[in-house]
Amino acid sequence: MDNSKLASTSSEEPLTIVPPVARRSLMASPQASMSASVSEKYMSFPDEPYLFERVAEEDDDDNADDDLHRPDEYVKATDRVASGRLCTRRGILNVGMLVLLTAALLMLFAGYPILDYAREVQRTTNGGYNLGFINSTGQTAVIGGMHTRGLVDPDTPASARHRVGYDGQEYELVFSDEFNEDGRTFYPGEDPYWEAADLHYWGTNNLEWYSPRQVSTSGGALHLTLDEVESHDLNYEGGLLTSWNKMCFTGGYVSASVKLPGASDVWGLWPAFWTMGNLGRAGYGASLDGLWPYSYDSCDVGTLQNQTLGTYPPAAATQGDEYHDYKLSFLPGQRLSRCTCTGEDHPGPLLADGTFKGRAAPEIDILEAQVSEATETGQLSMSGQFAPFNSNYRYNNTGDNVHLTHPDRDIPNSYFGAVFQQSVSGVVESDQECYQLGADGGCFDEYGFEYTPGPAGDIKWSVGGEVRWTMEAAAVGPDATTDISQRTISEEPMYMLLNQGISENFGNIDWEELIFPSVMSVDWVRVYQPAGKRNVGCDPVEMPTASYIARHLDAYSNPNLTTWEQYGGEWPLNALEHQDEQRCETALNLAPDNLIGLV
């Protein structure tokens, strides 16, 4: 810049006021640099001084409070340049602002993405099995922002990580949840192992709406609360927690430490801890239609609607439910049976003989708590549900097919089934203090079952670590009267369910004595399997489910769809009903000779 343009024509040295544009800030307009001369611009267009400019006041008064205004220290422009004072306060401010802006931009476009990546918990397949073992992705749990953990909760004591099974084998812990972190909730997407339902369980005429807000953790335990609250045109809200399509297992020992709700002498509540095959989602009727409670791998009349082919067998019309004109079955038939014709929609696997393995959604109940009205004693129904059905729903109880450890106080259930299920159930006494309203706040007790899957398997139900009720697969063996074959002890990947509800379907309700809120508390849930025989996952290779569920996702995600037909799914062809079709020949080769030609 030519400083001579700032000189006066007077003989006296003038008071020099350095114009703002001579020291342009970052905020100066770019058009300013286009003027021919700085002096001409400001002579023609006077402007307000820049905020931090040192200018001469119109008066000569010293402003003690203005450290930028020193009227007794006038400086010539030429002296200012010659003095070399380049590090002025204003220059420092400008450079500082540049540094801050640069740092802010770097943080915005580089820092935050790096921090976000660094802080994100990277889910792993710790403890994974088969194709990721859970969630179809292999993700493991993150609880309360803690680091990822495997299927085994790190809070599980070392002493609880192994056990000797009732069968004498060594068992290893493959899953546990100690529920020690308070404040956990289980809305969809919040937990990789569990999800709380948000629906009405219409299938058993429940009087409550299941809501996720009724399921949470506090005091080192999980709580499922049933309360007298109006919800969705119902008068109660309860809790249902499941591990469907998230955490499943095949074979082993599953148990929980539970404090039952209410009191041991007041009836009407329906708390339960149970399991079901992953191909059926509890509360989603369309997914269950034709799958629950089948556990069957044969091609015969047991796979058909009402267990009949034409009018065969006669027992299906006469040896059933007395409340339904003695009809045996109202089931629609096994949708994914061993009789499924080649090329039909089926989850598999396809066996060596070219037929599909029979698939379904069997149910095994660890406990359904009830109270005997006659003795006012707390009891537990420990059962398995099966289809197709024996005549009159009577399982084979001869020999060691079923066994009660304490027949003096535990009994076989007098309920054997009806048109929608056959039940093999024992009723055992519970610890009368291990209830919400028990002495000193109640106590926790361990409830579980150990099972071996397959047509020669068994189930052993236990309370407090002691076997109380046992059934062998032979109890649901072939039945000549209804012409059906062996039912199997579930070979499906099973998921867990915990719920606290209320329904007159389960028994009478003592409305005058029930106290709300009623709380079912769970200290922990644990799953063990024989050493070296780990089979954890909802989509095992030998019993896949993921692809089939994905193909029919609406049936598994819309609880308002009650049947497979309403969902819009096609029922796979059954070879017994399509004996003349070529694609059904392979499956038909498995059918008994007496069924050929009965269509």
Q: Exposed/middle/buried for 65, CB within 10 Å: 0-12, 13-18, 19+?
A: exposed
Q: Are 337 and 574 in contact (CB under 8 A)?
A: yes
The predicted model scores a pTM of 0.78
The span from the CA of 283 to the CA of 215, in Å, is 17
Mean pLDDT along residues 117-131: 42
* pLDDT at 87 exceeding the cut of 80: no
The span from the CA of 532 to the CA of 450, in Å, is 16
Three-class SS state of 504? coil
The residue with tokens 């200290």 is: 523
CATH topology for the 158-296+360-568 domain: Jelly Rolls (2.60.120)
Q: Are 234 and 207 in contact (CB under 8 A)?
A: yes
Q: Exposed/middle/buried for 454, CB within 10 Å: 0-12, 13-18, 19+?
A: middle
Alpha-carbon distances of 582 from 48, 355, 573, 577, rounded to whole Å = 98, 14, 12, 13
**Which amino acid type is present at position 433?**
E
Q: How confident is the model at residue 326 (pLDDT cuts 50, 70, 90)?
A: very high
Q: Are 472 and 396 in contact (CB under 8 A)?
A: no
The span from the CA of 226 to the CA of 519, in Å, is 6
* pLDDT at 453 exceeding the cut of 90: yes
The span from the CA of 278 to the CA of 442, in Å, is 34
Mean pLDDT along residues 333-355: 99
**The token pair that represents 28 in the structure block:** 């100066």
**pLDDT: which is higher, 424 or 136:** 424
Q: Are 496 and 151 in contact (CB under 8 A)?
A: no
**The token pair that represents 377 in the structure block:** 């004693």
Specify the range with the lowest mean pLDDT, choosing from 70-74, 360-364, 411-415. 70-74
pLDDT of residue 88: 75
The residue with tokens 């005549």 is: 391
**The token pair that represents 482 in the structure block:** 């209804």
Task: List pLDDT tens digits, range 385-443.
Answer: 999 999 999 999 999 999 999 999 999 999 999 999 999 999 999 999 999 999 999 99
Task: List pLDDT tens digits, range 37-68.
Answer: 333 333 333 444 444 444 444 444 555 555 55
Whether the bond between 517 and the residue before it is cis, its omega within 30 degrees of 0, is yes
Burial profile 481-519: b = 16 or more Cβ within 10 angstroms, e = fewer: ebbbbbbbbbbbbbbbbbbbbbbeebeebbeeebeebbb
Alpha carbon 148 to its chain centroid, in Å, reads 16
Question: What is the Cα Rg of the chain in Å?
Answer: 38
Q: Are 502 and 509 in contact (CB under 8 A)?
A: yes
* pLDDT at 30 exceeding the cut of 50: no
Query: What is the maximum span of the chain, computed from C-alpha positions, in angstroms?
Result: 134
**Contacts of 146 by beta carbon, 8 Å cutoff, 6+ apart:** none
**Which of 568, 525, 586 has its CA nearest to residue 253?**
525
Residues facing 505 on adjacent strands: none
Going from N- to C-terminal start, the domains of the chain cover: 158-296+360-568
The span from the CA of 482 to the CA of 309, in Å, is 11
Q: Are 307 and 316 in contact (CB under 8 A)?
A: yes
Task: List pLDDT tens digits, range 461-509.
Answer: 999 999 999 999 999 999 999 999 999 999 999 999 999 999 999 999 9
